Structure 1
Amino acid sequence: MSEIIEYKCPACAGKLEFDSSIQKMKCPFCESEFDVESLKDHDNALENQKEDDITWETNAGGEWNEGETAGMKIYTCKSCGGEIITDSTTAASKCPYCDNPVVMSGSFSGDLKPDYIIPFKHDKAAAKAALNKHLEGRKLLPKVFKDQNHIDEIKGVYVPVWLFDADVEANMVYKGEKIRRWSDNNFSYIERNYYSVQRDGNVRFELVPVDGSTKMQDELMESIEPYNFNEAVDFQTAFLSGYLADRYDVSAEESIERANERIKSTTEQIFASTVNGYESFKKESGNIILSNGKAKYALYPVWILNTTWNGNKYTFAMNGQTGKFVGDLPVDTSAAAKWFAGIAAAVTAICFGLSFLIF
């Protein structure tokens, strides 16, 4: 029995037919034309795509040495459930995430020991200055955010971070489109040409961070990246003196999904950036094979400020190494209403002036 091979139009997905007059495959719907060999190569590229293969080795962190955790205490927040680790000389009276009181729950034990730590380079004074600069010129900002009492509540916290290394081999197939336009005395013409664009390559990823705390928002932590890992040192408990450390509640295994998302997204961006010279293009298929995947455990320095306005909590964060500061700001609705009313009045006055000039 002979096999009937059907080709779909890459432009509109209609069924292609062979046109003997031009010796090409032609779409009866959009009238696009394709030579047979190009279609075969395109279909073969799509058919030979493999499934993503992403596996990890997650032996991150180590064992504590005897006596190393002596004097380390745990404070538990009864409101959000956060567990904060610090040394015996540092008092933790409020949770750095929800600002509610915390209580001593006992001596620290049991968790994995971090492999690395990036020490704080910016102190509380620098964090206060960064917050003040962040608030400058915000006319619609509620007065509570300018209150010095809130600034005093900034806390330095070491956030647990899982760092993923991996080698990635990727294969991508895109459909590119080139458009040529011209006209004569009678008509305007548009010629569309479609191309199968293939990309193969390897990418090395190192130290892809995923925060290991459910209390620290992923979006907030990622927005103060990057950190300079060249300044990381082997973990020592002495670096915790005067600061708080969040106890991780997301394991390395549970962080893999987010690591995969970040690696896959970045890989696709890198490969897409190599597709040039087309009016437009889109990815038709692709696969990623990950190898040599490993994880490390580190603590990253963050200055955190929480405050509440009209029942909503607002969190600000500053990279304790680079000084990068981020945070959403609320709007004082009464001030906003007056501001927009003023804008509307100004626009009305301008329109009236124009009308006066016209008449």
Structure 2
Amino acid sequence: MSDVIEYKCPACGGKLEFNSGSQKMRCPFCESEFDVDSIKDHDNCLEHIKEDDMEWETSAGSEWQSGEKENMRVYTCKSCGGEIITDATTSASKCPYCDNPVVMSGNFSGALKPDYIIPFKYDKEAAKAALNKHIEGRKLLPKVFKDQNHIDEIKGVYVPVWLFDADAEGKMLFKGEKLRSWSDGKFNYIERSYFSVQREGNVQYELVPVDGSSKMQDELMESIEPFDFKDAVEFKTAYLSGYLADKYDIDAEQSVERANERIKNTTEQIISGTVQGYNSLTKESGSVCLHNAKSKYALYPVWILNTTWDGKKYVFAMNGQTGKFVGDLPIDYGASAKYFWGITAAVTAVCFGISLLLGLG
């Protein structure tokens, strides 16, 4: 004797029962009814959607050639542990991420050579101008953020980035709901109709970036995107002259999880956007499979200013290629209180003057 197959209600998840009168599957909990064939098709769709298959070939980067690293130096931050790379003509005194002193720890060794680099298009003066514009007119900003000597400390850093290319195949199953309402003068009625909606699609991804530095906040790096890869060139150490470069501490394998998250979310959004005409739409199941998944290693240009105030770290960043600038600003609550009481005193004085004026009338 074969096992009895149990079907769940797509509307509420309750166990469906066959109703001999209507010859349909009926839910005793929400009283929804479904055709037997429709329920079978729905369950078959759920069974045949596979799990995500998002594997990568992650042999990004290349080996350094003899002599390429001879003129490169490594500075180590003893506070955050970051390793900053420069050429022999450029020195570093402070860590661009935590603003603590760095010490030269010797010649550069280890790590992979980047495949590509996007050179800086905006210089330090442009970055300072963007920061000044960002804080312009903010009366309640702490003084340290306005101090010109501090603004001079903005640093140009090449951030290590893993770039992922893939063809994504997405399959999704949704529960769509349509509502119909009417009235017969005595009662108001609402009819809820449920639909099983299937969608499949292919999306091609190129150069999905994931930064390879644990010191650089993912949210901050992603907020200054996009970078235009058309300006990327084959990596040469000459591009590091006058700038710092962060040595990656998150490799391509470790970056796959973030790349998969970005690709999966975007693929689901694109496929969901093709479903129209329903009052509500709920994802029931889905999978994303990758094909031709490969990665590259590049350095992207970023201007960084790190500031600590009132025990909290604030980081500002500007895209060194496009000029896009981001960063949160704090409020000096001491200045805020003085500003507030100044406004209150001014309003009181005005009210008092009006009172006197009215008294003379």
Q: State TM-score, norm by structure 1.
A: 0.92
Structure 1: gaps (5+ residues)? 348-359
Partner Cα distance (1:76, 1:2) in 2: 68
Give the C-alpha shift of residue 339 in structure 1.
6.3
Partner Cα distance (2:197, 2:345) in 1: 55
Give the C-alpha shift of residue 24 in structure 1.
2.3
Identity %: 76
Of 35-44 and 140-149, deviating more is 140-149
Please say if 1:270 is aligned against 2:249.
no
Report the counterpart of residue 355 of structure 1 in structure 2.
Answer: none
Deviation readout 1:219-267 (Å, 9 max, x if unpaired): 1111111100111010011111110001111111111111111111111
Report the counterpart of residue 179 of structure 1 in structure 2.
Answer: 179
Partner Cα distance (2:282, 2:303) in 1: 41
State the SS of the aligned residue for 1:55. Answer: coil
Report the counterpart of residue 228 of structure 1 in structure 2.
Answer: 228
Please say if 1:211 is aligned against 2:211.
yes
State the SS of the aligned residue for 1:209. Answer: strand
Please say if 1:14 is aligned against 2:14.
yes
Structure 2: gaps (5+ residues)? 348-361
Seen in structure 2, the aligned counterparts of structure 1 residues 335 and 165 have a Cα distance that, compared at 3 Å, is same
Report the counterpart of residue 312 of structure 1 in structure 2.
Answer: 312
Partner Cα distance (1:103, 1:197) in 2: 60
Specify the code of the residue in structure 1 equivalent to 2:88. Answer: S
Seen in structure 2, the aligned counterparts of structure 1 residues 52 and 340 have a Cα distance that, compared at 3 Å, is farther
Give the C-alpha shift of residue 194 in structure 1.
0.6
Please say if 1:157 is aligned against 2:157.
yes
Give the C-alpha shift of residue 328 in structure 1.
1.4
Report the counterpart of residue 350 of structure 1 in structure 2.
Answer: none
Of 260-269 and 23-32, deviating more is 23-32
Give the C-alpha shift of residue 2 in structure 1.
4.9
Q: State TM-score, norm by structure 2.
A: 0.91
Give the C-alpha shift of residue 29 in structure 1.
2.0
Partner Cα distance (1:66, 1:2) in 2: 70
Partner Cα distance (2:25, 2:341) in 1: 63
Give the C-alpha shift of residue 110 in structure 1.
2.2
Give the C-alpha shift of residue 184 in structure 1.
2.9
Aligned length: 348
Partner Cα distance (2:105, 2:6) in 1: 69
Seen in structure 2, the aligned counterparts of structure 1 residues 335 and 195 have a Cα distance that, compared at 3 Å, is farther
Deviation readout 1:142-169 (Å, 9 max, x if unpaired): 2221111221000000000011111111
Report the counterpart of residue 353 of structure 1 in structure 2.
Answer: none
Of 303-312 and 164-173, deviating more is 164-173
Partner Cα distance (1:124, 1:272) in 2: 43
Matches within 5 A, 1:1-359: 1-337=1-337
Partner Cα distance (1:2, 1:53) in 2: 33
Deviation readout 1:334-353 (Å, 9 max, x if unpaired): 34446677999999xxxxxx
Partner Cα distance (2:171, 2:277) in 1: 20
Seen in structure 2, the aligned counterparts of structure 1 residues 344 and 202 have a Cα distance that, compared at 3 Å, is farther
State the SS of the aligned residue for 2:62. Answer: coil
Report the counterpart of residue 357 of structure 1 in structure 2.
Answer: none
Partner Cα distance (1:107, 1:284) in 2: 55
Seen in structure 2, the aligned counterparts of structure 1 residues 2 and 90 have a Cα distance that, compared at 3 Å, is closer
